[in-house]
Amino acid sequence: MARTTYEWRGDFDNASLNALHAEGFGGPPGTTDWRARLERHSLGWVCAQDGDSLVGFVNVAWDGGVHAFVLDTVVARHCRSQGIGAALIATAAQHARAADCEWLHVDFEEHLRSFYFEACGFRPTDAGLIPL
């Protein structure tokens, strides 16, 4: 395996990100135009590359002010438990801070609790959710 590199607003092709997203979240690869979506709604994103392969990704959406939001954190199955996810989040936090954001929010399923709290340094907080 080559050395994993991380790039803020890194280059990717939609097919690779759709495949990685499908692997991480289930279902067949979609046809989402990620580039258009990210350019329209995101402060930035982080791509993890192993050579020419996209092996990790996180989206950092924001409110245009001081709040940034982690979405779509995903690491290829064969690359998990190597610190790639935590490095994606650390890179995202670094760049959100550089953009003068004061808060980085995340929500997640229970099985990811130790990843976000222990590996990434998030702290528990009260939040609410309305399923739509």
Strands 42-50 and 53-62: antiparallel
**Predicted pLDDT at 24:** 93
Q: What is the mean pLDDT of each run of 10 residues along the chain (132 residues)?
A: 87 95 89 94 96 96 95 95 96 97 94 95 89 84
Q: With contact defined as beta carbons under 8 Å apart, do 44 and 88 qualify?
A: no
Q: Which of 84, 29, 32, 19 is nearest to 58 (CA)?
A: 84
- Residue 17, φ and ψ in degrees, nearest 5: -70, -40
- State phi, psi for 34 to the nearest 5 degrees: -60, -40
**What is the reported pLDDT for 2?**
63
Match domain 4-119 to its CATH number in 3.30.750.24, 3.40.630.30, 3.30.300.30, 3.40.50.2300.
Answer: 3.40.630.30
pLDDT of residue 128: 84
pTM above threshold 0.75 = yes
Rounded to whole angstroms, the Cα distance separating 16 from 19 reads 5
- In the prediction, which pLDDT does 16 show? 95
Question: What is the per-residue pLDDT for 129?
Answer: 78
Domains of the chain: which residue ranges?
A: 4-119
pLDDT of residue 37: 94
What is 20-86 written as a DSSP string?
Answer: HHHHHH-SS-----HHHHHHHHEEEEEEEEETTEEEEEEEEEE-SSSEEEEEEEEE-GGGTTSSHHH
Rounded distance between C-alpha atoms, residue 85 and residue 91, angstroms: 10
